[in-house]
Structure 1
Amino acid sequence: MLNKLLQNKVRIISLIGLVLLLAIIRAFENQLFYDPFLSYFEGDYNKLPLPEFNSVKLFFGLLFRYSLNMILSLAIIYILFEEIDLVKFSTVLYVLFFIVLVIAFYSVLYFYTNKNNLILFYIRRFLIQPILILLFIPGFYYQKINK
């Protein structure tokens, strides 16, 4: 087992580095991204009105953060499974999820204003956090062991 660990030390170090980069993105989110909802959702958001925001800046902030998380997540998937087809498939899924989630986010934001803040919270959570990788890794692993 120790030999196997030593053989895979580059992969293990790479995985640790990528996970640390995901943590750094989270740690410096206030400095890196435009998102007036960061502080809004820390408080009692069900009783507060929505914060003022610039839709275009918010979209590009979400896109930038989602893209960083996606790139790091795809790298993690590649290192874990070493299959480029899984990375391609994951890329398509990430792009489709982004499109659906952004449409849902702005729909809730503009059409439901303060009525569905919890839905807005969870849609935004999928956009800003690398949650999808937590779904993809077990799914791909299950698929791999059943081949």
Structure 2
Amino acid sequence: MLEKMLKNKIKIGFLILFIFFLVLIRLYEDKFFYDPFLDYFKTDYLRVTVPEYNGFKLFLGISFRYFLNTILSLGIMYVLFSDLKFIKFTTLLYFIFYILLILVFFLVLNFSTSENNFVLFYIRRFLIQPLFLLLFIPAFFYQKQNK
């Protein structure tokens, strides 16, 4: 009984730690990552032209943030489900979604008109925020309950 309580305390501790790091990434996003779109999307971005940006630095900044969020999200998933098969599958999904989203992001950014800035906003949102975590937790919880 004591072992089970201690094990749950450790899991809860790791869960809080991973969530804390996700919050830190969000709080200090303007200091840690190159992203000229942070301020741009706080304005009336549907009427304003896209800001100047360094494509390579933007790619690195968004990618770094995506992979930090992914690692922390995988940690949360492991704490919640303790199933290596889920983690492997989730890792594959994160990789596939990254390739698709980063490709579409830069295609929309470079070849689209300002009328499609809302599409750019939402694609970028999936790249820089841990939204997949919010989708995967209920899906895997449901999957685990139906096994």
Instruction: Return the TM-score normalized by structure 1.
Output: 0.95
Q: Is 1:102 the equivalent of 2:102?
A: yes
Which region of structure 1 is more displaced relative to structure 2, 6-15 or 127-136? 6-15
Q: Which runs of 4+ in 1 moved over 3 A?
A: 3-7
Q: What number of residue pairs does the alignment pair up?
A: 147
Q: Secondary structure at the match of 1:8?
A: helix
Q: Is 1:18 the equivalent of 2:18?
A: yes
**Alpha-carbon separation, structure 1, partners of 2:113 and 2:27:** 29
Q: Secondary structure at the match of 1:115?
A: helix
Instruction: Provide, for residues 113-139 of structure 1, a one-character-per-residue CA deviation record: whole Å limited to 9, x for no partner.
Output: 312010000000000000000010101
The corresponding residue for 1:38 is 38
The corresponding residue for 1:112 is 112
1:46-85 residue pairs with structure 2 within 5 A? 46-85=46-85
**Alpha-carbon separation, structure 2, partners of 1:113 and 1:34:** 23
**Alpha-carbon separation, structure 2, partners of 1:80 and 1:19:** 12
List runs of 5+ in structure 2 lacking aligned partners.
none
8 A Cα contact 1:50 1:113, kept in partner = no
**Alpha-carbon separation, structure 2, partners of 1:5 and 1:30:** 39
Residue identity in the other structure for 1:107: L
**Alpha-carbon separation, structure 2, partners of 1:42 and 1:54:** 20
The corresponding residue for 2:130 is 130
Residue identity in the other structure for 1:39: D
Instruction: Return the TM-score normalized by structure 2.
Output: 0.95
List runs of 5+ in structure 1 lacking aligned partners.
none
Percentage of pairs with the same residue: 54
Shift of 1:47: 1.0
Residue identity in the other structure for 1:69: N
